[in-house]
Amino acid sequence: MVHFVQNVLLPVTPVAYASVAVSSGATSSKSRPPLGSPGLYHLAWEVPTIEDLAAARATLADLGALIGESDHGATKSLYAQDPDGNEFEVMWLVPRDQWGEYEHSAVIERLDLERELGRYGGR
């Protein structure tokens, strides 16, 4: 995962960086604890612009790593897996003054990234 983070995520996610200690050997998904067991669910990185989120989407899709996308109102999120099967999120936070009805609630809707680029791009 360290290689994946350094070479795939860091070039498009300069705002936030998580330092993660990972063993040198991949763990088979067959040997992972069952769902609901204590442990790390996923990591998240925040990108500074909606254009950076679009660039991350293109990179992750090209790599076959993109597994989901969501519009949470105040955040726009991509979900992916690294080569070891670890889930992670790349998200963009809408400017606070534009949260509106989402200031105190989070929704889970389909992300229309083209619409969001039109709405928030170029800022």
Q: Which CATH number do you get for residue 81? A: 3.10.180
Residue 109 is assigned to a structural domain of this protein: yes
Residue 113 is assigned to a structural domain of this protein: yes
Residue 13 is assigned to a structural domain of this protein: yes
Confidence of residue 13 (pLDDT cuts 50, 70, 90): very low
SS3 per-residue string spanning 9-52: HHHHCCCCCCCCCCCCCCCCHHHCCCCCCCCCCEEEEEECCHHH
Place of tokens 């989402």: 102
Residue 67 is assigned to a structural domain of this protein: yes
pLDDT of residue 47: 96
C-alpha to C-alpha distance for 62 and 58, rounded to whole angstroms: 6
Residue 12 is assigned to a structural domain of this protein: yes
Residue 29 is assigned to a structural domain of this protein: no
Q: Quote the domain boundaries for residue 61.
A: 2-20+43-120
Confidence of residue 29 (pLDDT cuts 50, 70, 90): low
pLDDT tens by residue, 47-98: 999 999 999 999 999 999 999 999 999 999 999 999 888 889 999 999 999 8
Q: Which residues contact 38 (CB under 8 A, 6 or more apart)?
A: none
Q: How many domains is the chain built from?
A: 1
Region 24-37: mean pLDDT is 61
pTM attached to this predicted model: 0.72
Residue 30 is assigned to a structural domain of this protein: no
Nearest to 85 by CA among 64, 56, 57: 64
Q: Which residues contact 122 (CB under 8 A, 6 or more apart)?
A: none
C-alpha to C-alpha distance for 37 and 33, rounded to whole angstroms: 6
Residue 36 is assigned to a structural domain of this protein: no
| Amino acid at the residue 43 | L
